[in-house]
Amino acid sequence: MRRILFSTIKILISAALLYLALRKVNLTELALRIDNPASLGWIGLAIAASFLQIFVGVLRWREISAECGAPIGTRQAMRFNLIGTFFNQTLPSSIGGDAVRLWLVARGGAGWRAATYSIFVDRAVGLIALAVIIVASLPWSLRLISDPHGRSALLFVDLAALAGGAGFLVLGRLPWPWLKHWWGTHHLHACSVIANRVIFSRTHGPSIAVLSLSVHVLAVVIAWCVVQSIAAPVTFGQTFQLIPPVMLITMVPISIAGWGVREATMGLAFGYAGLMTNEGINVSLLFGAVSFIVGAFGGLVWIFSAEKAAQGAAPIEVPE
């Protein structure tokens, strides 16, 4: 009952935010702007960049999973990530894809603990990398965003993410024995230890850093392709400064696949930067459409997978 309530709340939030955002958009005009070969070509490039982004994420997850005791091959990890993108779009939870990836890895013989650690650490490393990118671009972002409310919101969101990431890493370095045994910190501490080992390792650290940063840079490239598809008056530099904070806020699990939250945040970000709010919403809608198309491909992978055939024996449980 509680899961149904939370799902209903997320659906209502997505619907309400989308309704408010779409009031500022002329969907007929947007459709006409992409109804030409050049625009469709840019959308195709955005889809290709999305698949590349998934593959780069696979390479990072593969290294992290090995450290968690859940080794996974590149081909299998790619399949699982594609399936995860499908469930990110269809399950009433922004972490639905992660839950399905966890289930797939655990059913593959890795065990539930190792599978959970691999997904959690992978997400944590990605969040830390995103916060680092936003901090590194702050001098330019603060020049772009002249509105004091926008500046305050940007600083608050980024510092909160950075503090959370730093606190997570520090947890694994604290010498207190009770952190390893108390039920409230045992698993979190273990994940922090693994994250520290992966990030600061001379063997894995550089590649993990490059892969993590590349995932988020590719998100900017996808958005830039979308911008080009509708010939929006936005430069690549402005896209690079605006997209990472929007992606960070979209990670908050209060909507369905980020819909509504992404559009509202993108519109505000464009407005704070002195750009047209409706163009921000247009870019967000097309960005979401690209994600949906890629997720549909992941759905085909799921339909023809051996794991789906065995689903009836062990139904998927999605965390609340």
Cα 53 from chain centre = 11
Q: Give residue 320's pLDDT.
A: 46
In a domain, 18, yes or no: no
Q: What pLDDT shows up at residue 218?
A: 96
Question: Does 241 reside within a domain?
Answer: yes
Do 57 and 50 touch, CB atoms closer than 8 A? no
Is position 42 within any domain? no
What is the extent of the structural domain holding 223?
52-301
Planar angle of CA 164, 168, 170, nearest 5 degrees: 115
Q: What per-residue confidence (pLDDT) applies to 319?
A: 45
What is the pLDDT, as a whole number, of residue 250?
Answer: 83
Confidence at residue 46, expressed as pLDDT on a 0 to 100 scale: 96
12 is a domain residue: no
Number of domains in the chain: 1
Radius of gyration of the chain from Cα atoms? 20
| Within-domain flag for 287 | yes
Environment class of residue 269 by beta-carbon count within 10 Å: exposed (0-12), middle (13-18) or buried (19+)? buried
- CA dist., res. 228 & res. 103, Å (int): 38
In a domain, 183, yes or no: yes
Note the Cα 236 to chain centre separation in Å: 20
pLDDT of res. 274? 82
Per-residue pLDDT of the chain (320 residues; tens, 9 = 90+): 656 665 676 667 767 766 666 677 777 888 888 889 999 999 999 999 999 999 999 999 999 999 998 889 999 999 999 999 998 877 655 566 888 888 888 887 778 899 999 999 999 999 999 999 998 888 888 888 888 888 888 888 888 888 888 999 999 898 888 888 888 888 999 999 999 999 998 888 899 999 999 999 999 999 999 999 999 888 999 999 999 988 888 877 666 767 778 888 888 888 888 888 888 899 999 999 999 999 999 999 988 887 766 665 455 554 44
Query: DSSP assignment of 119-158, as one string?
Result: HHHHHHHHHHHHHHHHHHTHHHHHHH---HHHHHHHHHHH
The tokens describing 306, both together, are 């051996």
Residue 74 placed within a domain:
yes
In a domain, 135, yes or no: yes
